[in-house]
Amino acid sequence: MALRNIVTDEDPSLKKKSRPVTEVTDRIRILVEDMIETMRAADGVGIAAPQVGVLRRIAVVEVEDLYVLINPVITEREGDQFNEEACLSVPGRAGKVHRPTRVVCEAMDLDGNMQRYEVEGLTAVCFCHEIDHLDGILYTDKAEEIRSTEGDYEEEDEE
């Protein structure tokens, strides 16, 4: 296992869509282990492959349980929660984002088997946040309020 560099929001690769994984190989398993180690070392609760410079549809989330999501697809969304989010790729800022309170997600696991996950609360937020990364979307693209983590909220400027 190895710590990987975390790509920050200045890098245009974070705005690109990731390619699906066609087969879970040893190389994919090593990438996932590296992602887990990198996420934990950075005190994160999730990380997507693009954040470590790999444009593949892989994410890991660890709130209470550890989830490995390969080619994840959200099939159901329910409710609304408006909470503060931060991101390992957007250092020094946090923002408030609307996310579903409950999601159902289908994804491959490390054995290449399809799994169905039904999650809610913070875990649902993390699934949505990480899957957005796979589509080239940062939470800052959706946030209604963004602030420096050392300052007060400010309205996000429209571009």
Q: Would you list the domain boundaries of the chain?
A: 12-151
Tell me the residue ranges of DSSP E strands in the chain.
Answer: 46-48, 58-62, 66-78, 81-87, 90-99, 102-108, 114-120, 145-148, 153-155
pLDDT of amino acid 22 = 96
**Integer CA distances (angstroms), 120 to 2, 69, 80, 115, 141, in order:** 31, 16, 11, 16, 22
**Residues labelled catalytic:** 130
The tens digit of pLDDT for each residue in 62-116 reads 999 999 999 999 999 999 999 999 999 999 999 999 999 999 999 999 999 999 9
Q: What is the mean pLDDT of residues 133-153?
A: 86
CATH of domain 12-151: 3.90.45.10
Please tell me whether the overall predicted TM-score, pTM, comes out greater than 0.85 for this model: yes
The tens digit of pLDDT for each residue in 16-40 reads 999 999 999 999 999 999 999 999 9
Alpha-carbon gap, residue 29 to 60, rounded angstroms: 12
